Structure 1
Amino acid sequence: MEKPASGWFLHWSSTTRSEEHMWGIFREHVLQHFEASNYQAVLREKLQRLKQTADIESYNGEYSALIFRVEGMSMLDQVLCYANGLKPRTRSYVKLENPETLSDAMDLAVKYEVTHFIDDTRDRQARQETKKLNKLTVKHGKPFKEKSFRGKGRFKPKTDSKRTEGRHVKANCFIWKKD
């Protein structure tokens, strides 16, 4: 124990009757002495401000760390407070399912994010590929498909130079004989 707590404990144990040396009474006296008067209000405020900014496991951990210290909060309030901090799509899903307990709400959120995480990853990868292709287009002036063209295309084959020696090709692509 730190000095203030240690000193308080020695004082409490010497001034409290031995019949009152029970966990419930001790806990109550500790909280009365050390806990801020608005501690529960501060915890509830933190819960209301808590938002999911990363993965669902991180949010669940942060929420659990706060909710287990809050006293007297109904299960409905716990679930609503939890759901309101989720990302929008996850929040909609969890509220639609109408879970009765906080544990059920957390399970639904995890299941939703796991099943929809694959789609988000695919979308993100597709956007990255499009960006990469656009960068190549800007650099080279035309799209580059990462393989050079080596096959026969739809181009008109070259004419034999022996056959065209006496001919002149005009700009309108007709072949004229030289007189």
Structure 2
Amino acid sequence: MTITTRLRRTTTTAAILYAVALLLIAFWPTPVDRPASGFLSRLLSWLADRGLGFITYDVIESFANVLLFIPAGLLLVVLLGVQWWWLSILGGIAASVAIEMGQHLFLAGRFATIDDVYANTIGAVVGTVIGVVALLLAGRADVTRHRRAQAQHRVRARRVPTQTP
């Protein structure tokens, strides 16, 4: 399936903006959720009071990491195409490992963990699946439109009376 120039430009712009945001979040000197720590503490207490104590800070952080990498898989598969879906997943893994290594080597206030790599990879996989399904559905819609247009053309061609000299 060919991606239109407009879609490619839009996706490229979105990917650049996403990459900048991801780098800012990943390499901010302190954890980006620090300003929300009071809110998170109140939320976790509120959840625990309602029998949802299994939802811990670690669960929320992992879920946030999954959500953070869904756009990576989605944008990469749209840019690369369905046939290269596996590169979207590898790209998500590579970006995650690079981020965690960078945090470990250069940011004393941040903590690199393998759990983050797992969560980020899950996000990239989910994004890739969403992208592949969307592209396949869009391609199927294009094929259906093309077939309808061909059928209408054949019907019109039959209706046009032929002129004989």
Question: Of the two structures, which has the highest relative contact order with CA contacts closer than 8 Å and spacing of 6 or more?
Answer: 2
Larger Rg: 1
Q: TM-score, normalised by structure 1?
A: 0.26
Q: TM-score, normalised by structure 2?
A: 0.28
